[in-house]
Structure 1
Amino acid sequence: MVNQPEYIAEIIISSLMSMTLMLLMGILGLPIIIYNTKHDKASFTMKAVKLAFFWSLLPASLLTITGTDFTINTWEWFHISTFTIYTSVKIDYYAAVFLPVALYVTWSILQFALWYMEKDYNIDQFFKYLLIFLISMIILVTANNLFQLFIGWEGVGIMSFLLISWWFGRPDANSAALQAVLYNRAGDLGLFVMMAWMMASTNSWELDDIFLHSQNQNMTMPALALILAAAGKSAQFGLHPWLPSAMEGPTPVSALLHSSTMVVAGIFLLIRFYPIIEQSKTAMTTCLWLGSLTTLFTAACALTQNDIKKIIAFSTSSQLGFMMVTIGLGQPRLAFLHICTHAFFKAMLFMCSGVIIHSLKNEQDIRKMGGMYFLTPLTASCITLGSLALTGTPFLSGFYSKDAIIETLNSSHLNACALSMTLIATSFTAVYSLRILYYVLGGQPRFNSLSPINENDPNLNTSLMRLAVGSLIFGQLITMSLPPKTTSVLTMTLTMKMTAILVTLTGLTTALLLTQSDSLHKKLWSHLPLHFTTLLGFFPLTIHRLLPKLTLQMGHLISSQLIDQTWFKLLGPKAILKSSMSLSKYINTIQLGLIKLHLMSFTIALLTTAFIYTIMT
């Protein structure tokens, strides 16, 4: 018998959750719908996101208190034979926690953009694009079926193209946006395969039905398709070149897309469909190896880059590989925790780099900076805090997720090679983080005298300090909201427990040695490894130049040699001309009246007649 008070309470909470989500989407959609002629839509958009953040705390609080997931079905979208799609929203732990994090970071980035893009004539349109992108991400996170998830997935991709190519007068920006689209289309192929497979095997795109019917089936194919989709969106090894190129977009775009939203969409997809992935050992091994290759390769690339935004971009890709390794270890909740903690300090790092670039008149080479600690003290403090959080310094937001993941690595019985690669990449994180601080903040200024640098803008200061607060305290708050583990906690020695800090200290020591000794730096970095990492493993040269060149050359050979020349010389006009000339020459020879030709013709005719007569008789 149903407990009536609990049933009534569940109905009330479910109704309250539905109203909250409807109001949340209404708040975010209001700046898009309203036509404002006073040219302050950008500020209005920022305030709407601010209000949406505070409103999103309600569903997060309700879910934390009740501990119950909510699925809200509204209406039937369309119906084909026995296949039906409903408009449904799923509010579980992942969605309830991700919404406030994404809105908090977006609120800070929009306020930062009020300062950074203040001279852009189309700033209102820019804010509208950012808001549509955020709404697409919310649709993706809260989707309870593959159709809604696909709408959010493609919406994120389309808006990323428009935002990366915002400065469309720059050829590099257009090229970077096109790269993002093409690499994401390769990943979308995996999502298409997965959707088709689910339609054919389970006859449903609802997540609950998919998880229920997939328990007794071989899920290797859809799991690998999901990994392909995530690899394209989250810039995993092989599909990673678009992420550093996307730094051609405005800094607010980099801070939003490449810290907490678009690039983590692929990892979030794997977390959402983890019940399918864990059924396939092949998929779990693929996640582990793909993540370890990504985190090590991109961390090595970050060591040798000199563009400050590209260093942070490769850092993002390395952390995405770290999250992929965590999924391969069977810990999707830890991967999600790292997504949330990573969002705060990575967005802050991008914004700090934007402040420095903006102050130095678009200079992005860290070798031409220096002395920024005294010129921009707030920015210097924030970039130091973000770098420390990135390396996993105790009691900052990055520590809570990174320390737990490294503990899981040490206690895992899985592939030791992949886990060792991940630990090496973790030490590289400390190296390139300290390298940024050394070149950007330390020493004397290495740039020409410019106009006075001023960071005393309320929008700039408030947005940076807000993310700094998030980097300080939100890691612990989100960790406290994690549901209790179902597995027992292993007892570890003190040395194993301190591995995360030891790995970070090893990286910091290496960085200090490299910065203090130029000769040691040259010995460690020979020409081949330096070129390999500086040129991103030769991926752009191979994929963007060599393969298109070979394809064009092959097409030219096929069209010119095999088709045009064959038709023109052997079968076409030249062939007809050649045969006509041969026939004409032969007839002309017969008409010369030579006796030997007549005798030869008579002999051939006589022999032919005799041969035919012999056969017939």
Structure 2
Amino acid sequence: MTPIIISTTTLLIMLWLLHSLLKFLSPDHQPSTTHMKNTTKKAFFTSLIPTTLLLKNEINSSLKFPSHISLETFNIYVNFSLDTYSIMFSSIALFITWSIMEFSTWYLSNDPNINKFMKYLMIFLLSMLVIITANNLFQLFIGWEGVGVMSFLLIGWWHARTDANTAALQAIIYNRLGDVGLLMTMFWLNINSSWDIQEIFAQTNTMCVTPMLGLMVAAVGKSAQFGFHPWLPAAMEGPTPVSALLHSSTMVVAGVFLILRMHPIIQNNTTILSLCLMIGSITTLLSALTASTQNDIKKIIALSTTSQLGLMMLTLGLNQPMLAFMHMSMHSFFKAMLFLCAGSLIHNLNNEQDVRKMGGLQHLLPTTSSAITTANMALMGTPFLSGFYSKDVIVETITNSHTNAWAMMLTLVATALSATYSIRMMLLVLTNNTKIKQTTNHPESKTMMKPISRLLLGTITGGLLTKLLTTPSTSTLTMPKTIKLAAIMITLASLILTTDTMYLKSLNKQKSTKPTPLTHPTNQFMFFNTIHRMLPSTTLKLSQKYSTELTDAWSLEKLGPSGLAQKNILMTHLTTQQKNLMKTYLSTFTLTTVISLLILSPNWP
């Protein structure tokens, strides 16, 4: 009975969302923003039914429809996977999207195309649900491309701005590079196996490293790991609700979810696991270091997302998929709330995003200040908030595993830096005095505060409820207390150090007026300049050299006038004895004439 209820509710959720979208095809009955928000709300409460049933029973079933596409080696079905990952994360994605949609009605209240914006958000959500519930790679690829296209449209929502268009193109191009890996995997499996995920799991013993590398490349591109990371901070050019949805429960977590879903085929491959470990640890450290030097509030939060995604990838490298899924779920709550609070602050400061120009906002926006403080504390891993139950466990796991020592050190440093950029942002934004004149005032209305309050409730209780409902009994502590308390002690040390450093900077700022130098972390370790400027410039110069200098010189000198002249000279030398030695010819002629005249002269003796 339980699988039937879960299957029915999953289909009902999909049909509700599709029905709301199909209403846009009718020009006379366009759905309102309230209707779409209520549809998502209704879908969320419906999704709680299978989530509740999942807590009592371990469910792992699928919902298969008749075959639509028949290939020579296998058939393609519309096939939904109903397991822990899909059921739990569907509820989280619906809850966060419902909150963001309600916030958008306040944030974009003056936008003439707000209905279209809400439609894009709903398609974005539906594409992510397709990825979560897909039980074959063809279906997953549809959702995979869906979130990519919708991110392009939503990041470039304000398309009159050049920066927004550039950021949207940057996002779609980086993701297209990652899509090459997924396509490579699908082509390989088309020849050697099947696209059905359950059949792929049954053939893990015959799987080579090629499809796994393809999955790795796809995840690195979609989840903005190191090498593909610049598009994520650039995506902040879109509206703040887009950033909240993009960074919390859709798009960027799709890459991690792909590795999570396909983990049974890579769990015994040490090469891929080591690759996940290396990429994850490098990403989490460099992103945290870069976030500590940024001044744009949205870029600080975006780079913290990249750092947390690196931590999830590192956890997958430790062969702990359920722990990575838990951190992905907990991260969704406080990351969405961070962006919504940032949107509230930006809206009240006339679109000012520089944290150095903010200050004293705890008096102006007390509820928003409380929410952003709680979200930052959850991000740091403060005990009994949602981030504590996943992030600290990851640190404990890596310190107790047989992994590389350097990966552990990078993770611990990144843990310290997460406290650094969080405390720095709170001190600059909420304390001292406001440094700019407030020109607009958007009070903390119910429309704005309801979604933030819901996410605040999830941030506070999400981890605790998960622990109480899934593990009713606490296991016996077998690790040393120093390891158990390592994450908290490092966070506290970083918090104290950051507070003292900020205080010293405020004292020195009164004495020195020198501009802040452009450091390597500020400039993302020159990665942007290297990839986006140096490499294209070098390629252009090489192309120019080969196309103009070498090609033109070859065509003009070898085949053009100079080449023809050289050929004529050669032919002249072959057909005549004349060597063009005029002086020698004239001297010989003169000497021969003189000698002949002397010999033929009658007076010659």
TM-superposed CA distance for 1:77, in Å, is: 2.2
Instruction: Identify which range, 90-99 or 13-22, moves more after superposition.
Output: 13-22
Residue 335 of structure 1 pairs with residue 324 of structure 2? yes
Is the 1:112–1:463 Cα contact (8 Å) retained in structure 2?
Answer: yes
Change (3 A) 1:74 1:518: same
Structure 2 counterpart of 1:604: none
SS in 1 for 2:195: coil
Deviation track 1:155-190 (CA, whole Å, cap 9, x = no partner) reads 111111111011111111111111111111121111
Change (3 A) 1:36 1:341: farther
Is the 1:455–1:461 Cα contact (8 Å) retained in structure 2?
Answer: no
Structure 1 counterpart of 2:89: 98
Change (3 A) 1:578 1:304: same
Structure 1 counterpart of 2:338: 349
Structure 2 counterpart of 1:4: none
TM-superposed CA distance for 1:124, in Å, is: 0.6
Residue of structure 2 aligned with 1:30, choices 5, 11, 19: 19
Residue 207 of structure 1 pairs with residue 204 of structure 2? no
SS in 1 for 2:206: coil
Q: What is the aligned-residue RMSD (CA, Å)? A: 2.8
Superposed counterparts of 1:133-532, under 5 Å: 133-202=124-193, 204-214=194-204, 216-451=205-440, 453-482=441-470, 491-518=478-505, 531-532=519-520
Change (3 A) 1:200 1:595: closer
Structure 1 counterpart of 2:591: none
Change (3 A) 1:539 1:209: same
Is the 1:31–1:41 Cα contact (8 Å) retained in structure 2?
Answer: no
TM-superposed CA distance for 1:595, in Å, is: 12
Deviation track 1:582-607 (CA, whole Å, cap 9, x = no partner) reads 8789999969999986999xxxxxxx
TM-superposed CA distance for 1:258, in Å, is: 1.2
Is the 2:282–2:310 Cα contact (8 Å) retained in structure 1?
Answer: yes
Deviation track 1:342-393 (CA, whole Å, cap 9, x = no partner) reads 0011000011111111111111100001011111111111111111111111
CA distance in 1, matches of 2:242, 2:587: 92
TM-superposed CA distance for 1:516, in Å, is: 1.3
Change (3 A) 1:458 1:568: same
SS in 1 for 2:157: coil
Residue of structure 1 aligned with 2:558, choices 558, 566, 570: 570
TM-superposed CA distance for 1:457, in Å, is: 2.0
CA distance in 2, matches of 1:181, 1:259: 19
Instruction: Identify which range, 26-35 or 389-398, moves more after superposition.
Output: 26-35
Deviation track 1:63-108 (CA, whole Å, cap 9, x = no partner) reads 3223121111111021122221111110100001001100000000
TM-superposed CA distance for 1:454, in Å, is: 2.9
Task: Specify every segment of 5 or more residues in structure 2 that has no aligned partner in the other structure, as ranges.
Answer: 589-605
Instruction: Identify which range, 167-176 or 557-566, moves more after superposition.
Output: 557-566
Instruction: Identify which range, 388-397 or 28-37, moves more after superposition.
Output: 28-37
TM-superposed CA distance for 1:40, in Å, is: 5.8
TM-superposed CA distance for 1:490, in Å, is: 6.2
Change (3 A) 1:291 1:441: same
SS in 2 for 1:532: coil
Residue of structure 2 aligned with 1:53, choices 44, 62, 74: 44
Structure 2 counterpart of 1:558: 546
| Residue type at the aligned position of 1:137 | M
Is the 1:60–1:96 Cα contact (8 Å) retained in structure 2?
Answer: yes
Structure 2 counterpart of 1:610: none
TM-superposed CA distance for 1:287, in Å, is: 0.8
CA distance in 2, matches of 1:145, 1:36: 35
Is the 1:376–1:454 Cα contact (8 Å) retained in structure 2?
Answer: no
Residue of structure 1 aligned with 2:70, choices 79, 87, 99: 79
Instruction: Identify which range, 297-306 or 25-34, moves more after superposition.
Output: 25-34
Deviation track 1:554-586 (CA, whole Å, cap 9, x = no partner) reads 111111122222112211355335645887899
| Residue type at the aligned position of 2:198 | D
SS in 2 for 1:533: coil
TM-superposed CA distance for 1:417, in Å, is: 0.7
CA distance in 1, matches of 2:581, 2:247: 90
| Residue type at the aligned position of 2:47 | S
Is the 1:197–1:222 Cα contact (8 Å) retained in structure 2?
Answer: yes
CA distance in 1, matches of 2:224, 2:583: 85
Deviation track 1:404-451 (CA, whole Å, cap 9, x = no partner) reads 112112211211110111011011111110101100000011002423
SS in 2 for 1:108: helix
Is the 2:285–2:414 Cα contact (8 Å) retained in structure 1?
Answer: yes
Size of the aligned set, in residue pairs, is 583
Is the 2:207–2:265 Cα contact (8 Å) retained in structure 1?
Answer: no
CA distance in 1, matches of 2:520, 2:583: 80
CA distance in 1, matches of 2:464, 2:17: 28
TM-superposed CA distance for 1:255, in Å, is: 0.2
CA distance in 1, matches of 2:503, 2:180: 48
TM-score (norm 1): 0.89
CA distance in 1, matches of 2:518, 2:109: 39
Task: Specify every segment of 5 or more residues in structure 1 that has no aligned partner in the other structure, as ranges.
Answer: 1-11, 601-617
Percent identity for Structure 1 against Structure 2: 46
Is the 1:219–1:280 Cα contact (8 Å) retained in structure 2?
Answer: no
Is the 1:514–1:521 Cα contact (8 Å) retained in structure 2?
Answer: no
TM-superposed CA distance for 1:489, in Å, is: 6.8
| Residue type at the aligned position of 1:512 | T
TM-superposed CA distance for 1:224, in Å, is: 2.2
CA distance in 2, matches of 1:311, 1:85: 43
TM-superposed CA distance for 1:294, in Å, is: 0.3
Is the 2:348–2:438 Cα contact (8 Å) retained in structure 1?
Answer: no
Is the 1:372–1:441 Cα contact (8 Å) retained in structure 2?
Answer: yes
Change (3 A) 1:557 1:594: closer
CA distance in 2, matches of 1:528, 1:236: 28
SS in 1 for 2:382: coil
CA distance in 2, matches of 1:150, 1:86: 13
Is the 1:219–1:276 Cα contact (8 Å) retained in structure 2?
Answer: no
SS in 2 for 1:75: coil
SS in 1 for 2:502: helix
CA distance in 1, matches of 2:549, 2:130: 52
Is the 1:351–1:464 Cα contact (8 Å) retained in structure 2?
Answer: yes
Change (3 A) 1:587 1:516: same
CA distance in 2, matches of 1:404, 1:182: 35
CA distance in 2, matches of 1:566, 1:311: 53
Change (3 A) 1:520 1:267: farther
TM-superposed CA distance for 1:284, in Å, is: 0.8
Deviation track 1:439-475 (CA, whole Å, cap 9, x = no partner) reads 0000011002423x23232210111111111111112
Structure 1 counterpart of 2:111: 120
Is the 1:129–1:163 Cα contact (8 Å) retained in structure 2?
Answer: yes
CA distance in 2, matches of 1:137, 1:205: 19
